[in-house]
Chain A
Amino acid sequence: MRLLLVVALDGLTYASWLFLVSAGLTFTYGVLRVLNLAHGNLYALGAYLGATLVLRYAATGYTPALAYGLLFVAAVVVGLVVGPLIERVFLRRVYSRDEEVQLLLTFSISLILEDVVKLTWGVNPVFAEMPYSYLGRVRLGGINYAWYPFLLTAIALAVGGLLWLVVTRTRLGKVLASVIADREVSLTLGINVPRVYTWAFAAGAVLAALGGALTAPMFSLAPGVGAEVLVTSFAVIAIGGLGSIGGAALGSLIVGLARSAAVYFFPELDLFAIYLIMALVLLFRPQGLFGEIEVRRI
């Protein structure tokens, strides 16, 4: 029973983290129809910057409570600086070209960012566990569990709720829906589509960096984390359906619980479990659980 509780809690933690990262990837794809292969690198940038800020701040000895704010600052800085830079300078030039060219473009940016991280932070692991240990632990149903994962889950829920509100309840949401449905008609309606693209890309970048910054206190950081994050979050959004926020939420939950169950019961299957689920879902429902079938135009 206790083991099950641990599995569920770990799964929930993992799912929250997955949701933050994959929501950004799926959102960007939903609006721009470009899968950002540099998403994992934005995650890494957010994580490293967050860890650095926290470590610097911890060294000053002020109250640790403010360190949490710094994690958000790191995410927003990375997202709003690097995101628009990628979209405006590079991506914008290839919207009219083949899809594989767009993928190649984000791939080359991913390669560049990979080394930017290595050059800036070196190859030694970076670990800023202060925000994690500061919250302490809680006794729950006979087990001793840290508070921090609950904070992560709360933030993931808040982000998901915010996204849902924006998409369904605001004018911006209507603008997004119109751009997604038809870019050219949106232009004639007076919507500044290029600006929507820039902001949508930046929003995805902020979410990636936020996912990174918030996990920085939980795991030590090492180079190469970007690819793993990209692949895992792609599995999540492929399960949920590309472009669907709700799909990302469900996909995160499924993958999170499956992975945590695998870690405890079948450690060898660990990563395998994720792709097994993805393969099964794609086999029977190629567009993902919440995905829409694309109309094929001749």
Chain B
Amino acid sequence: MPARAPTAILLFLGALILLAAVPLVLSGWILFLLTVAGAKALAVLGVVLLLRGKLLTFGHALYYAVGAYAAGMAVKYFGVREALLLLALALLAGVAMSAFLGLLVARYRAVYFALLNLAFSMVLYGMLLKLYSITGGTDGLGIPEPTLAGFELGGSSLRLAMYELTVVLTAVLVYLTYRFFASPTGYTLRAIRDNEVRVEYMGVSVWRAVYVSYVIAGGLAAVSGCLIALSVGHITPDLSFWSQSGEFVFVAILGGTGSMLAPVIGSVLFEFVRNYAFELSPYTWQMTLGIILLLIIFFLPGGVWSLTALVVRRGSR
């Protein structure tokens, strides 16, 4: 990748402009679908980042819900309506939460890491359900239409603005995560994947790399949750449920962990497939996911992204 970096950046910018221009051609539900996909891609990006360090989490929806509810609470109790402020608050809440839980979780690997996260996310789920007076229980919280940078936008112009905001924010965060992954800490994460003990023998702190990555992944998921809250306009405790975390893992594996762009591709693909598969047969949705996941594990371990590598290789030949 580094050798072709200029090409990659050009491609990236091209894709960005193309995506930003999508509303000129398409509208309505496809735009909404893409907004949701772009927003969720950020949570998946966090999962992918951790997976690069061989860390599988089944509780990443925890931070997704923290972001969404941080926004929801700010709206309900402090009357904050500015989208950018809400996003900043969500990021802060997500980072604070992951920085706190990370103190415990970052000490664990493999099974423990996966299930500690799952346990914490289910605790949050239970609390969101039970603290009815604060969180609205199963009814959740409604989020009124926000203002964007001070502008009162309503209806379709707000949806358009949310789409553009999501595209820009996702692009920026994908790029920053890519930069993080190319940083010394990012390289440590790669080395951890190969052999953690040897990394420590080199005198590099494994714990620090894992902790930092965990906090970043938490922040990404919180921004993702807030974007979803703002676009959908309603949040429920289900945001923290295990099936949501499972979905993030699924999309991460579907897209592949080969690139920081893979989560975006995986996420868009997932939202479209879900849109059709769910209408076709709602009762076999999870089964469909399970079967696809099995197929990927056995036949396409690199995810959909590895197909692009195939195309590139063939093209350069």
Interface residues in chain A, defined as those with a beta carbon under 8 Å from any beta carbon in chain B:
29, 35, 37, 90, 93-94, 98-101, 103-105, 107-112, 114-116, 118-119, 227-228, 231, 234-235, 238, 242, 268, 270-272, 275, 278-279, 282-283, 286, 296-298
In the complex, what residues of A have CB within 8 A of residue B201's CB?
A: 298
A37 and B118 CA atoms in complex are apart in Å by 11
Interface size on B, as a range, is 35 or more
Task: Assess whether B126 is interfacial by the CB under 8 Å rule.
Answer: yes
In the complex, what residues of B have CB within 8 A of residue A37's CB?
A: 58
- Known: A108-B290, A114-B286, A119-B284. Contact between A100 and B54, CB under 8 A? yes
Least CB distance, B114 to chain A, in whole angstroms = 6
Asked whether B289 lies within 8 Å of A111 as measured between CB atoms, the reply is: yes
Least CB distance, B226 to chain A, in whole angstroms = 25
A112 and B292 CA atoms in complex are apart in Å by 10
Residues of B contacting A: mostly: helix
- Known: A99-B111, A270-B126, A275-B120. Contact between A111 and B54, CB under 8 A? no
> In chain A, what residue has the closest Cβ to B285?
A115
Asked whether B287 lies within 8 Å of A112 as measured between CB atoms, the reply is: yes
In the complex, what residues of B have CB within 8 A of residue A118's CB?
A: 283
> In chain B, what residue has the closest Cβ to A116?
B287
- Known: A98-B54, A114-B286. Contact between A238 and B249, CB under 8 A? no
> In chain B, what residue has the closest Cβ to A276?
B123
> In chain B, what residue has the closest Cβ to A288?
B112
Can you add 16 more A-B contacts, CB < 8 Å, to A111-B287, A282-B116?
A94-B297, A98-B54, A99-B54, A105-B294, A108-B291, A108-B294, A111-B293, A112-B294, A114-B287, A115-B284, A115-B287, A118-B283, A227-B122, A282-B104, A296-B197, A298-B197
In the complex, what residues of A have CB within 8 A of residue B246's CB?
A: 107, 111
Least CB distance, B1 to chain A, in whole angstroms = 22
- Known: A90-B294, A286-B107. Contact between A115 and B126, CB under 8 A? no
Least CB distance, A56 to chain B, in whole angstroms = 24
Asked whether A107 lies within 8 Å of B249 as measured between CB atoms, the reply is: yes
Task: Assess whether B29 is interfacial by the CB under 8 Å rule.
Answer: no
In the complex, what residues of A have CB within 8 A of residue B285's CB?
A: 115
Q: What 1/0 flags go to B183-225 for Cβ under 8 Å of A?
A: 0000000000001011001000000000000000000000000
> In chain B, what residue has the closest Cβ to A107?
B246
Task: Assess whether B130 is interfacial by the CB under 8 Å rule.
Answer: yes
Asked whether B122 lies within 8 Å of A283 as measured between CB atoms, the reply is: no
> In chain A, what residue has the closest Cβ to B55?
A100
Task: Assess whether B108 is interfacial by the CB under 8 Å rule.
Answer: yes
In the complex, what residues of A have CB within 8 A of residue B126's CB?
A: 270-272
Task: Assess whether B77 is interfacial by the CB under 8 Å rule.
Answer: no
Asked whether A115 lies within 8 Å of B127 as measured between CB atoms, the reply is: no
A150 and B102 CA atoms in complex are apart in Å by 41
> In chain B, what residue has the closest Cβ to A109?
B290
Option from B56, B111, B115 in Cβ contact (under 8 Å) with A231: B115
Interface centre among A93, A99, A100 (most CB of B within 10 A): A100
A296 and B249 CA atoms in complex are apart in Å by 28
A-B contact pairs, 21 of them (CB 8 A): A100-B55, A100-B114, A103-B111, A104-B56, A105-B297, A107-B246, A108-B289, A111-B246, A112-B291, A114-B290, A119-B284, A227-B122, A227-B243, A231-B122, A235-B119, A268-B131, A271-B126, A275-B120, A283-B104, A286-B112, A296-B197
In the complex, what residues of B have CB within 8 A of residue A278's CB?
A: 119
Q: What 1/0 flags go to B119-141 for Cβ under 8 Å of A?
A: 11011001100110000000000
A231 and B108 CA atoms in complex are apart in Å by 17
In the complex, what residues of B have CB within 8 A of residue A283's CB?
A: 104
In the complex, what residues of A have CB within 8 A of residue B293's CB?
A: 104, 107-108, 111
Asked whether B283 lies within 8 Å of A101 as measured between CB atoms, the reply is: no
- Known: A111-B246, A114-B286. Contact between A101 and B297, CB under 8 A? yes
In the complex, what residues of B have CB within 8 A of residue A98's CB?
A: 54
In the complex, what residues of B have CB within 8 A of residue A242's CB?
A: 111-112
